[in-house]
Every structure is written in C-alpha cells, then in structure tokens.
Amino acid sequence: MQSLVSFFLDKIVFECSFHIFKIKLYLFLIATVLQSSYEDFLEESGFPLTNEPVWFLGKQYIVPAEKTILEEDVLTRFWFTYRKGFTAIGGTGPTTDQGWGCMLRCGQMMVAHSLVCRHLDRDWKWCHKKTTSKHMQMQARYKYQQQIYTKILKLFLDERDSYYSVQQITSMGASEGKNVGEWFGPNTIAHVLKKVCCYDIWSNIVIHVSMDNTVVISDIVEQCKVGFSDRTPENTDSDYNRSSWRPLLLIIPLRLGVSEINIAYYDQLKACLRLKQSAGVLGGRPNHAFWIVGYTENYFFYFDPHTTQQAVKSSQPASSLHETYHLKYPSSHIHIKDLDPSIATGFFCQTEEDFTNLCSNFRENIIKTSISPMFELLQTRPAHFTEYEPNVQEGKSVEDFEQLKYEEDFEIL
C-alpha cells in the first residue's frame, strides 16, 4: 500500500514538473517571438535596437505596442528626395538636383510638415487607402481632407508654378549669394524659405529665422500680427481669417560645437524634438543633409533625401501623385556624436497660445536646465542688437509670384 501511494505521489510530482516545464517553454517561446518581432521591426524601420521610448516630432511612442500608430504618423509626413527630368532651372540650367539639392529637400520637408499641421492638424493621419465608411458626412470629410493634402503636395512639385519648388527655392537662393548647383547650409535654406513662403497666400504662414542664438519674442509677435489684415487667404472659410495671429514656423540656426556636437547640448537637442511644436531639425553630416524627425536614447532618426527619383507632374492623377512621396519608416538613424554641429531646429505654432507655450517650454526644458543653453530667449531686442527688419517679401501677391517666375537669371556652376 505504501509503495502504491509513493508511486502516485512520484507520478503527480513528475506531471507537475512536466507541466511547469511546458509553461516555462511556452513563455520562453513567446518572449523569443516578441523579441524577434521587435528586433525585426527596429531593423526594418531604421530605429536602433532599444527598449526606450521613441520620440517622433513631439510625440512619444512605445514600440512594438504602438508600432502601427507610429507607422501611420511616419507615413503622413512627406518625403522629398532628389528628382530628375524636371523643367530646366532658369530655362537652360540643370534638370536634376542630384548631388547638391539635399538641404533644399530637407527644408521642403520641414515646411511641408508645418503646412499639414496648419491646414489639417498635427494628429491628422493620411490614409492611402480609400475610406470604407458608409456615412456620407465622413466620406465627404475624408475626400475634402485628401484634397487639401494633395494641394499641399502640389506646392512642392518641381515646377515653376509651385511656390516651394526646387526652381523657386534656387531662384530665391540667388538673393543669399547661392548659385545653381551650390550646396545650401541650414542657415541659408532657412532664410530662403522665409522669403518664398510670403507668396503662399493660401497658407498665410510666417517663417521667422532667429539669428545669433537668440529668440526675441517681440520680433516674432510683431511679424505674426502686423500686416495680417492686408493679406487675403484663398480659403475664406478658414478660422485664420478671424484670427489676429498668423501660423508660425520658427527656425533657429545653431552651431553646437566645432567638429561635432558638444555633449553639453545632447539633452537640449533631444528636448527640442520632444516639444509638441517640433518641426524637426535640419542637419546631417558635412555636405550630406537630412531631416531629423526624432530620437531614442542617443540615436537620431531621419528622412534621407539622397535617393534620385523621376520628377512628378501636377497633371498626373491625384491617386498616383503620392506614390513616391512617402516612407513607412524613417530612412535610417545616426548617433548624435556623428552629427555635424551646424543645424537648424524648427517649431510650428498654429496659434499664439502655442507660441506662448513654446516659450514656456524653452525656459523650463532648455534655458533653466543648463549653464550653457543652446540659445537665449529674450522678451525684447537688446539695445546693442541691430534694428529688427521685418521680412522684405511681406505683402507679396500672386502677381508678384508670376513675375518672379520669369525673372530667372542664374549663374550656373
């Protein structure tokens, strides 16, 4: 009898041990699959292998749990690259920007992101598939938003009629001493875009470039408010017609070191990408620019314009226009120590409240957190500064733009 009891006890212990082993094995296999899936996602997406949060243009994501939402956010941003086969710049100039137009494309991406935020919203997501909603109002809204999104894209196509085309940026670059085929730096593209945006009456935004590592609040407020009533946006239904504030893209060109970014600025640069107003960073390696859109740990990921694609014409059907202007994941990532110290960080403020909040965040997350902040934030212009000069392009009209298109007299390198 005792031996029989002992037998059953041994059997129960064995079966329990076996089941525990099976449970441990299942848990191990599940963990392995999840980790493999996570590593595959990071490898495929260009994100570095890490369990830390991913920050993308002011929004935080936990991957792989929020992988799909992150993909949608990335997919919504426009990816502008080198193009070939477009209308010759200046009539007889180059028909491609391959090898010299990377910073122009990065500037385009920063402005395009701002225009999507301005006309649609930061949280709006582009859906490349037709909506299946049966609700007529939802379908109408979807169709309208897609039309706005396509209209934004057409502002950047490589045609002389497009406000932010490579042709127009190159044309305006002559005023900054840049010839066709000459590489732009972050500071140059910021000033050129500041001039070009004045012709975009529909968007009616202000691009302010803060120089000398100093953001002067009064200068920005003046530029966003003065002369507002003189402009007549095409979209008469816009809330901005009833506002006294024009949406702002603030660009701050900075040099954060001699040959590489000083470690003292690491956390401050990350803080810029965490702010909800973030429009990314124009930067890269020497003569190799890209649009930095986020980070995780000390790795920054970006959209890389160094892919040459065929130029797209505005006459193409809307369904095919978007085919080569989107990425599912950022192009790649780079360690912060490998970045060139010459950058320009951007911030989009839809309203005056957004700008006030941005200034507050500058004080709390950048100014007060370091004995050597990246830039200063001043309420008014110091006496030793030169007198503030508003954008000389302000008040330009569509007619002015039409005249600009035919005043192309370039020196070709």
Q: Which tokens hold the place of 10?
A: 């041994």
- Give the bridge partners for 412, in sequence order: 180
Answer whether 100's CB lies under 8 Å from 182's CB: yes
Question: What does the alpha-carbon distance between residue 48 and residue 294 come to, in Å, rounded to a whole number?
Answer: 12
Instruction: Name residue, tokens 């994941």.
Output: 329
Could you tell me the CA-to-CA distances from 328 to 55, 124, 249, 272 in Å, in that order? 16, 16, 25, 23
- Asked about 306 being catalytic, the answer comes back as yes
- How many CA atoms lie less than 13 Å away from 295 in the CB half-sphere? 22
Catalytic residue (one of 73, 97, 102, 106): 102
Query: 291-330: b or e for each residue (b if 16 or more CB lie within 10 Å)?
Result: bbbbbbbebbbbbbbbeebebbeeeeeeeebbeebebebb
- Asked about 19 being catalytic, the answer comes back as no
Helix (H, G, I), strand (E, B) or coil at 153: helix
Catalytic residue (one of 158, 200, 219, 304): 304
Query: 166-186: b or e for each residue (b if 16 or more CB lie within 10 Å)?
Result: bbbbbbbbbebebebbebbbb
Spell out the residues 6+ positions from residue 372 whose beta carbon is closer than 8 angstroms to its own: 264, 265
Residue 237 CB burial class (10 angstroms; 0-12, 13-18, ≥19): exposed
Cα 34 versus chain centre, distance: 30
Q: Which tokens hold the place of 369?
A: 């957190």
Could you tell me the CA-to-CA distances from 296 to 69, 75, 176, 367 in Å, in that order? 17, 19, 35, 22
- Asked about 304 being catalytic, the answer comes back as yes
Residue 258 CB burial class (10 angstroms; 0-12, 13-18, ≥19): exposed
In 54-166 the beta strands, taken as DSSP E runs, fall at 54-56, 59-61, 82-84
Spell out the residues 6+ positions from residue 349 whose beta carbon is closer than 8 angstroms to its own: 247, 248, 250, 277, 355, 358
Catalytic residue (one of 127, 288, 306, 326): 306
The set of catalytic residues is: 102, 304, 306
